[in-house]
Structure 1
């Protein structure tokens, strides 16, 4: 019910991949949840939820229930790329606001849709 530091870190690794090596080996909570290469193990109580599984459950399924069009694979991959660049573990590795505004998802999908809504 209540999140712990280890359960939150586990969720982050599930979604974003293995921590930077020097963090990975310091994180004692990885034992029993992940193999040394970052692959999930023994996850009956905390099922592994990959980035794609989360997207299907938390974005696509609600859109489908509301009779909204599903996000197509090309757009989905562009969203993943943008979000992952924003969520890099090390702040210095994260995309800047300018880089986000210039990324494929913004240029091909978000900004054109925004312009339609604004009536530009």
Structure 2
């Protein structure tokens, strides 16, 4: 699956959640609520990383749990970018180019 397919799939699932939220709460989540959900997912991921490094207990299938939580976090990033109108593919490419240039400028010349 390429980036645009992932983004489209994230939008489809977000639309389903929005429908559920409207039925349950009378309105879809705001971008602030999406961000709060993402923050919770990052906290869950942090706990699993702690289990991965041995500093805390974890689930029996840690690899599956890590994969799930990383996918949850990626979904949140894709959904939030869409909600605030950021072209994430462009932003990612530009940011990686900038970071690469910065890091290379800090390394000794070969």
Q: TM-score range by the shorter chain?
A: 0.3 to 0.5
Structure ranking higher on relative contact order (CA contacts 8 Å, 6+ apart): 2
TM-score, normalised by the number of residues in structure 1:
0.32
